[in-house]
Chains A and B, each alone.
Chain A
C-alpha cells in the first residue's frame, strides 16, 4: 500500500527573472513500512525533494499524495496538520530547542495536536525516551548531551505523535562513524517496528542501512531499480 505517491512532481524556483527548475518531473512511490534512502550529490535536488515529501513545501506542478491526502494544493494550515500527524523529522543539526529540557523537546509536537488521543502523554514520552535509551536524561538540557544523544532525542520527538513516516535529513552528518552507526541502527529498529523511514543523504555508508536507495541527479530519479537492494 503506498504511503507516498509522486507523479511528475516539478519544482521551479524563481531567482530574479530567471526560473530554475530544481525537480524536473519526479515519479516515485514509497509504500508503508519501507526503509528508503534518497541519495544524490549537492545540487541534485534532494533537499527540495525532502521538503516536498515532508510537506514543508508544495510542488509547482504534478501530484503528491501522502497517506491519501493530495498535498499539492493544500494551504499552509493543512500542511501543518499533515506534518504534525504523519511525519516525524530528524535533522542533521538535531534542531532541539536549547532552552527546553529533553522531555519538553520530545513533547513539542504534542503541543500542536488538534485533539489529544493518548491518555497520559508524559508517560508515553518517557516510554519513547526509554526506547531510544535516554530515560534517565529526561530533565537534561540538550547542551548537556553528546551529539548522538541529541539525535536520539530528535528521534524520540519524531516518534511521539506516532506518525507513519520518519523523514531524516542527513541524520549522521554531524556524528562520528560509530555514533552514526548507532543512530542508523536505531532508525532501522524503528523501521522493523513498522515505521516508514526515508533518509536523505549523500553518504553511501548511511544509505547502506536502507533496503532501497533512490538516486537523484539533476532533478530526476536515475535508474532507481538498479540501486534497489
Chain B
C-alpha cells in the first residue's frame, strides 16, 4: 500500500502516553486512584494509631487481616462481576450457606473420627462446591432466564440465606474439627494461613484480570457487550465463568469465616454483599461496567476493615462505621465522576 491512502483523522495527533492529558501534577495524582487509596489507608492507620497507640500492633493488624480475608475474597469476585457489567448480591448469603453446609460436613467427619486436617480440607472443598453451585444458578438465571443480574442474584441471596436458616434452625453448627480455630492465628507477623491464601489468590486474580484473555473479555463485555459479540467472544460462556468465579470465591470465604468462628453460623455473611460492593466501588470499579483495577479492590477492602477495627480501638461507637463507609463511597464515586468529566472534555 502506498502513502496516499494513509488515513489520518484530522483531529489532534494521539499522544503516546496518557500522562500528557493531565494538566498538572496534582490532577495527575488524583487521577491515579490506587495512589489516592494507599494514601487514605496510610492516613487512617496513622490517625487511629495517634488516637490509641495500641492500634499500631501486630495483634490488631492480625485481627484486621482476619476480618479482611473473607471480604477480600468476595470483593475479588465482585470486581470481575461488576467490570463485566453485572452485580452479584448473593455473595453474602453464599458465605453463610457454604459455611453452614461445610460445618455440617466437618461435624459429621469429626464425629466419625476423621482427622482434623482431612476434615478441614474436605470442608474447604464442600464450601467451594456450594459456592460454585450458587454461581451456576446465578449464571443460568442471567443467561437463560434472561433476568438482569440484580434480580437474579437478589433471588439467590434470599434463597441462600433462607436455606441456611432452615438447615441450622437458626443456631450455630459446631462440633467440627477442634483445631480449626487455630488456623486463624497469625503464623508470620500478622498473617495467618487463610490470609496468606487470600493474598496469593488476590495476586493470581489480578494477573488474570489485567494480563490474561479472561480479564480482557471481562472488560470488553462490560464496556460494550455488542462489541464483544461482534468480535466473536462467547459472551454467555464468559458470563457463566465470571459468576462461577464469584460464587466459588464466596464459597471459600464461607470456609474462611468458619475458621474464625469455629462454627457455621446462619448469620455469618449477613450484609457482606454490601461490603463487597463498597470495597470495589471505593477501589474505583465503575458500577456501569468496563472500568476497574484489582489493586483498587484490595486496598478498598483493606480500608473498609481498617475503619471497623480502628473505630473499636479508638473507643468510638462502632456504629459510626457505616457513616464513615458511606462517606468513603461518596468520595470515591465523586473522584471517578470528576475523572470521567476530564476525559469527556477532551473528546
Chain A complexes with chain B: no
